[in-house]
Chains A and B, each alone.
Chain A
Amino acid sequence: MKKTIWTLLSTLIVLAFALSACRPATPTAAPDTQVPATEAPTQPPATEAPTKPAIPEMCMGAQPGDELTVMYVWSGAEEEKLNAIFKPLVDTCGIKIVAESTRDAAVVDARVQSAPPDILFWPSTAPLDLYTDKLVPLDTVGGVAENYASYWLDLGTRDGKWLAVPVKADIKSIVWYSPAQFEAFGYTVPTTFEELDALVEKMVADGNVPWSMGLESGPATGWTGSDFIQDILLALQGPEYVSKIISGEIPYNDAGVLQAYQIYYKWASDPKYTVGGAEGTLNTSFLDAIYKPFASPAEAMMVKQSGFAGGEIVKQFPSLVYGTDFDFFPFPGAKGMQGGADFMMVFGTSNATKAMVAYLTGADGAATWAQVGFDLSPNKLAAGKYTDPQLAKKAEILANAAGFTPDIGDTIPAPFGEAEWKAIIEVLQGGDIQAALDKVAQAQAEALKK
């Protein structure tokens, strides 16, 4: 009895060994056959190399297999677009991109302090001030400055060194409207702030509601109001004024800001000017506000919203056609564009790094960026290369802009943006505008204090 158990057990063990021996046999066999296959193509170039320069010029001396470490905030569909933009360079030079995607500034900081990536893409110029000494001037790694408007270069310059270049931009100073509605009522697209004001009054006189506004956005409630007010500031005061608010030279309770708030309050709180009056503005989510001018029947004539609104309109109303059913115009009279931009900053000096910088700041990268349609490329050479008509129009607006200002709320250190949103809500709830602005000015001073 005991013996049979032992034999059974030993056969089982043998079987188990045999099985485990079989399993790895297939994977090990596969590499065996692959190794010669990979060796074969690598050998010929080794012999051909001396006869002709294998490395194309755009690679700036980078060898196939060279690694390029990059960090950025994009993921998902956005990352796919970025990879499509990188593809021509990657395919030509055979460089290997090692990417890390994070939205966390703390992660970036940890990496920069230990092993900085060759290239960092970031949605603000904040890293410029943090790592001024660690960053490599772009003109020393193949950056082509002449392809950018001077205000872009100014945004990326510290201590006289050109350290950051915008690769991607989107504009916020946009008003969406329905050309069909405008035509039906005989309205024309305004080009100055006075014309906009007159148009709004005319719409009210006709019994139409000019604006659709929606502040609601969960914990970020208020940002659409802050965008709107900044556009009014850009029209009435200009980009320099906005830059001075960002730097703290002009306090947020200045007369110019007060005037902008008064105009905004008039438009955002009266049911004749906006859907549902102040209550509507406070309770409507920013997405619902985008839909209202394009619903049937239309609830409003216009909605001021960033470039992304076009995509949202199509998602909600798939039958609407861009150009006839919905279209946009730059915020009338804005003397500079408000928008978001992603900047490229460089820590490495390898050939692969140079190849990437030269590619993105040069003609090829600009054209690919425009064709892929990853928002706009601030590179001048991207002009005319866009395949998407909406992007082409935005690019034209941006190209004609005299200046560019980032979002005030996003640029001043963090507690400020919240104070700004709070003030807008307070004002719409009937609070005193000057008192609300005084509080924001205090937050502005506190946030900018070193």
Chain B
Amino acid sequence: MTAPTTTTAPPPASRFSTITIVAIALVGILVLGGVGALIGKSAESDRKFPSAPLPSPNRGTNNLQTGSRSYRSATPRAQATGGGPTEDPGTDGSTSVTLGDKIATVSIPNGWDVGTCEGNTCVELRKDSLYAYARVYQPRTAVDPAAVATEMLEGNWVKQDEHYSDVVSGKLISEKLSERASVASIPYEGFKTDTGGVLGVGGQVFAVVRSDGWVLQIQVEASSDKSPDEAFKSFLDALKLPDGAAVVILGSLLYTFDKGS
């Protein structure tokens, strides 16, 4: 190997040593991280859930009839469709989808996107920042609605789903829906994320168990690009009467599941 000969222009001289460079980078990152943490701290949610709405068929019936449309109108169409999931268009552009063999029927207001899964067991609905998913199944052994709702929150529906993070939940509420069915629900809020971005989400999981063993699981969720608190407020607004966007969906599911075959 030859010895270096004259070099007219060496590579650019560094102003700093390696340690200085690393130290400056670390201090810079710590300062920026501190600023980010402070912004996060100052805007931190107080995470206090307002009392979550728990619809019942009776409440739903009375209230929904005063709403922009009645979910009762979905029932005859649902009965006409037989086994589902099937979509039945109404005269006002709305549709209904029957889950299972008339186990439950969801009435879908105009403008919602609808998806159904194979096996006649589930339906997914979306409009703007609102999302709803419902599923019916019949377990081999009797289940408790509180246990089902808890499993929904702690399991793959929310906390074990890799898209959710920083999820906090409110109190579990259980009550009898009717002589035939009981319902349990848990409100929650947190973040929904993938590599492209993050949204605040707020919603509630519902588990309804009928005396004949059938289970109806429902998740209703709103999202917000501002915060989980804002998302939860949107969720509550969606359940407000008379024009809440999710009232018809939730009410029709609960009513038809309670009254269904």
* A and B: interacting chains: no
Tell me the B residues contacting A by CB distance below 8 Å. Answer: none
Interface residues of A (CB under 8 A from B): none
